[in-house]
Each structure stands twice: as structure tokens, then as C-alpha cells.
């Protein structure tokens, strides 16, 4: 999938005029790009459109209009766009209660290394986590992680033949899995050019 360039973005003025409609389009698109694994882990799968929205929002909030500053934002967010052989997601551990969140993040050290996907009856493929910087210590994990799932040609072919897709977590203190619905699979693999 092509990375974003400056000419792909709206100016601040253009974005102000188009923001409501663009936001509605992105929210509808994101509806089938979220996967909940158990009660507290959500994966938000990124693509070119979701990243464009994030960049546009950052430029709007920070009032960024200079070319070099815009390029810095693109350089920050472009690595989150899948490149055709992978899926990329923002993983969020969500606990409403602050004390419970603190306790559970201390218990779930390394959880980001135990998140997997499985195409059909194939082997589990574990996510590669936080390539930009380490987000966990030996005392606690972060509530937010960036994940990359690599898919080989056999996995893509199996999906193209209608194999199902599961995702899960194999951490000692958080073991859950979920079977993805067809609409989610189609959305996630659209950018991989998998024939559904």
C-alpha cells in the first residue's frame, strides 16, 4: 500500500471544510477494522485511510502548515500503513477503573508478545510488537502497543479460498481468542489484494 505524501493531504483550510464528511467516511470504514480479544484488549487495524485521518487531525490540532513539520508527521505515521504482506494494528488494553488498570498492567507484562492470528487450521503467527520503541518494562506493560502481523503467500491464498481467521492471546494471565466475522476479514485483507 502506498505511503502518504504531502500532496495526498488536505490543507488546513480544505480539511476544515471537509472534516465532518471525511470523519464520517473514516468512522464507517473503521467499523470493520476493530477486533476485540477478550474483555479488555482491542486491536484497531490501520491502513492508508485511517492513518490519513490521524495525520490530518494532528495537523489540525497542532496547526501545522510548514512543509518540514508536515513531513515529520508523515514520517511518524507512515510506518503504521501496511505494506501488502502484513497487517498493522494499534493494540489497546482498556480498563475503566484506574486502580484495576494499574494492577492489571503490572500483571500483564509481555502480553504484546503473546498476541497471534491464525488463518484456517494453520499455525499461529505471533505479532511483532513495538518496533519503534519499547513500551514495556519488567514491572509493567503499556496500555498501548503497535503490532505487525506478517502473512506469507500460503496464508493469503488460504484466505482467498475462504479459510477463516482467528486472533487470540496466549499470556498466562490473559487467554482469549475470537473468530473474525467475514466483514472484518474482508476489510483487513482488502489491502493485501486477497480475492474473497
- Please write the tens of the pLDDT for every residue from 67-104: 999 999 999 899 999 988 899 999 999 999 999 999 99
Q: Same domain, yes or no, for 4 and 71?
A: yes
Range scoring the smallest mean pLDDT among 6-20, 142-156, 179-193: 179-193
Q: Same domain, yes or no, for 77 and 88?
A: no
Q: Tell me 143's DSSP state.
A: S
141-156 mean pLDDT? 93
- CATH number at 166 reads 2.60.40
Helix ranges (DSSP H) in 40-195: 48-62, 67-77, 98-107, 153-160, 182-189
Q: Same domain, yes or no, for 126 and 161?
A: yes
Q: Same domain, yes or no, for 167 and 111?
A: yes
- Tell me the residue range of the domain where 138 lies: 37-45+84-196
Q: Same domain, yes or no, for 108 and 119?
A: yes
Predicted confidence band of residue 150 (pLDDT cuts 50, 70, 90): very high
Asked if residue 108 lies in contact with residue 173, where contact means CB atoms within 8 angstroms, the answer is yes
Phi, psi of 83 (to 5 degrees): -105, 10
Q: Same domain, yes or no, for 169 and 146?
A: yes
Q: Same domain, yes or no, for 106 and 160?
A: yes
CA neighbor of 188 nearest in space, from 46, 56, 10, 76: 46
Q: Which residue has the cell 490521524?
A: 54
Q: Same domain, yes or no, for 122 and 152?
A: yes
* pLDDT in the model for residue 148: 95
Q: What's the total number of domains in the chain?
A: 2
Q: Same domain, yes or no, for 116 and 189?
A: yes
Q: Same domain, yes or no, for 5 and 94?
A: no
Tens of pLDDT, residue by residue over 16-40, are 999 999 999 999 999 999 999 999 9
pLDDT at 186 over 70: yes
pLDDT at 120 over 50: yes
pTM listed for this prediction: 0.88
Q: Same domain, yes or no, for 26 and 117?
A: no
Q: Same domain, yes or no, for 18 and 92?
A: no
Amino acid at each position: 500500500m502506498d505511503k502518504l505524501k504531502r500532496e495526498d493531504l488536505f490543507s488546513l483550510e480544505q480539511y476544515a471544510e471537509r472534516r465532518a464528511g471525511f470523519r464520517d467516511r473514516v468512522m464507517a470504514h473503521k467499523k470493520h477494522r476493530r477486533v476485540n480479544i477478550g474483555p479488555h484488549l482491542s486491536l484497531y487495524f490501520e491502513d492508508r485511510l485511517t492513518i490519513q485521518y490521524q495525520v490530518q487531525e494532528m495537523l489540525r490540532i497542532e496547526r501545522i502548515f510548514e512543509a518540514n513539520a508536515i513531513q515529520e508527521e508523515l514520517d511518524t505515521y507512515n510506518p503504521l500503513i501496511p505494506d501488502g504482506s502484513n497487517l498493522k494494528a494499534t493494540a489497546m488494553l482498556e480498563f475503566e477503573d484506574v486502580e484495576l488498570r494499574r494492577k492489571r498492567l503490572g500483571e500483564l507484562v509481555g502480553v504484546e508478545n503473546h498476541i497471534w492470528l491464525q488463518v484456517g487450521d494453520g499455525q499461529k503467527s505471533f505479532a511483532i510488537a513495538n518496533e519503534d520503541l519499547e513500551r514495556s518494562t519488567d514491572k509493567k506493560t503499556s496500555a498501548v502497543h503497535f503490532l505487525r502481523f506478517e502473512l506469507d503467500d500460503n496464508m493469503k491464498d488460504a484466505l482467498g479460498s475462504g479459510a477463516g481467521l482467528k486472533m487470540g492471546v496466549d499470556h498466562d494471565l490473559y487467554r482469549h481468542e475470537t473468530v473474525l466475522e467475514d466483514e472484518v476479514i474482508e476489510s483487513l485483507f482488502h489491502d493485501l489484494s486477497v480475492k474473497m
